[in-house]
Amino acid sequence: MAEIQTIAPVRHGWQGEVEIPGDKSISHRSVMFAGLGNTPVHIRNFLHAADCLSTVGVMRALGVDVEFLNENELIVTGKGLHGLTEPMTVLDAGNSGTTLRLMMGLLAPQPFLSTFCGDASLTRRPMGRVLLPLSAMGARIYGRNTNNNLPLTIVPTGEKLRGIHYESPVASAQVKSAILLAGLYADAPTTVTEPYVSRDHTEQMLAGFGVRLERTGTNVTLFPVEEGGYRAPEEITVPGDISSAAYFLVAGTIIEGSRLLLKNVGINPTRTGILDVLTEMGANIQLENERTSGGERVADIIVASASLRGISFGAEIMPRLIDEIPVIAVAALFAEGDTVITGAGELRVKETDRLHAIAEEFQKLAPGSVEEQEDGLIIHGKTEIRQAQVSSWGDHRMAMSLAVLGVAAEGVRIEEPDSVNISYPAFFSEMERLSKGGSL
C-alpha cells in the first residue's frame, strides 16, 4: 500500500450495499475458545486481518490445529482444555491488545512458561491492569519496568489459581475476559464487578461452550470447568463488526444524498452505543431483518443522509462505543452546535493516545474545531474544513475516521494508511467502490 493514501471528496451520495467484515472481538475469541476444545469447530466469516491473525499464530504455537479453508473460513481443532503445549519460541501478539490480554488470562494457569512480545505500539501499552487481578489469583507474571510493558513472561506456579471476586476500576472487556479465562482453571468461582457493563462477547461465547456463568447487574461469575464440561460447538458464524460498520454509518449520514444497506452487523447491546449516539444526534438509521446467530444479535442496518446536531455524552455509555469515538468525532464536525465527550480517558492508552491524535489531526483539517480535555473532547460543529495532509498515527481507527472526514469534505492525504490492515484490509477499496457509484 502507498505510504500516503489520497482520498478525494465525493460530490454525490453513496448508494448501495456494504458487506461488513467479521467482528474482530468475536473472531479472536472464536479461535481461542475453539482451541480449548477437542473437536473440530468450523468458523465462518472470520476477520482475516492482522490482529486476528496474531491470535491464530499464538494458538498454533500452543499446539492448536488451525486450517484455513479460505481467507474467512477456518477449522480449529484443539487438544482439550488441558491440552495446550509449551511454545518453542516467544509468542508474538503483534499490535493486538486483545490477543495479549486474553492470552495472559488463558496462559496464567498453564503448567509451562510462555513469553510474549509485540510491535512498538503494543510494547508501550500498560498491562498492569490485567497483571494485578491475575496476580491476586496466584499467577506469576513478569513484565518490563513498573508499567509491566512487553516483553512479558508467565511462569508456572505448580498450583491451581484461586477464584477471586475482583472489583475492576475500569469497565474493560479485555480485563474482564482475562480474569474469566483464568477462572476456567481456578479452585473456586471467579467474579468480576465493573463500574459499567463492558462488551460481553466472552460470556456469550463461553456459555455456548457449556461453561456455567451467572450475571447480575455489573457482576459476572464464572464457575470452574469440571472434566468434560467444555463442549465446543460444531460451527461459529461471526457477525459483521459494528466498529467497522461505524465508518459507513457516519459516512452515510454526513454525505448528502446517501443511502446504504449494511449487511449482517452484530448488534450486541454492549456494543451499540454508536447507534444510540448517532440517533440522538439526528441520524436516519433503521434496523431490519433482526435475528440471533450463535448467541449474538445480528441485523441489517439502513442509513440515509441526515442533518445532525451536537450532543453531550460521557462515562456511562463509553464502554459501549469506546472504539467508535474517532468516527463519532467526525460526525460531530458536521453537526450543528457543539458535541461534548467526557469519560473517555481510556482512549489515551489505545493503539495511540486517540484523544490527542484526534485533536492534532482535526486541527489540520478544521482549525479551531476541537478542544482537547483531560478525559474527552469538545468539538465545534460546522467549522470550515479544508484539505490537508494528516497522520494516522499508525492507528487503524484514526486512518479510517480521517478517510471518512476527507471524503465528506474537501479530500485528505493520509500518512501510514496501511494501519487499516489491523481490522479492515479492504476499507479503502470499499470506499473507492462507493465513491465511483459501484455495486457489489
User: Which cell numbers in the block locate residue 138?
Assistant: 496466584
- 323 as an active site residue: the answer is yes
- Angle at the Cα of 28 from the Cα atoms of 24 and 30, rounded to 5 degrees: 115
Continuous segment of H or E residues that includes residue 17: strand 15-19
24 assigned to a ligand binding site: yes
Answer yes or no: are the C-beta atoms of 258 and 221 closer than 8 Å: no
Greatest CA span in the chain, whole angstroms?
Answer: 65
172 assigned to a ligand binding site: yes
Q: Which of 316, 313, 317, 319 is nearest to 377 (CA)?
A: 313
Cα–Cα distances in Å, from 58 out to 28, 66, 254, 440? 11, 11, 40, 34
354 assigned to a ligand binding site: yes
Q: In what order do the strands lie in the sheet with 91-92?
A: 91-92, 114-117, 149-155, 140-144
Q: Which of 236, 234, 238, 192 is nearest to 213 (CA)?
A: 192
323 assigned to a ligand binding site: yes
125 assigned to a ligand binding site: yes
162 assigned to a ligand binding site: no
Sequential DSSP letters for 209-259: TT--EEEETTEEEEPPPPTT-----SEEEPPBPHHHHHHHHHHHHHSTT-E
174 assigned to a ligand binding site: yes
Q: How far is CA 187 from the centre of its chain?
A: 31
* Distance (Å, whole) CA 23 – CA 99: 14
11 assigned to a ligand binding site: no
Sequential DSSP letters for 77-114: E---TT-----SS-EE-TT-HHHHHHHHHHHTTSSS-E
397 assigned to a ligand binding site: yes
- List the catalytic residue out of 200, 241, 300, 323: 323
Annotated binding site for phosphoenolpyruvate: 24, 97, 125, 174, 354, 397
Binding residue ranges: 24-25, 29, 97, 125, 172, 174, 323, 350, 354, 397
Catalytically active residues are 323
**Which amino acids are annotated as binding site for 3-phosphoshikimate, given as ranges?**
24-25, 29, 172, 174, 323, 350
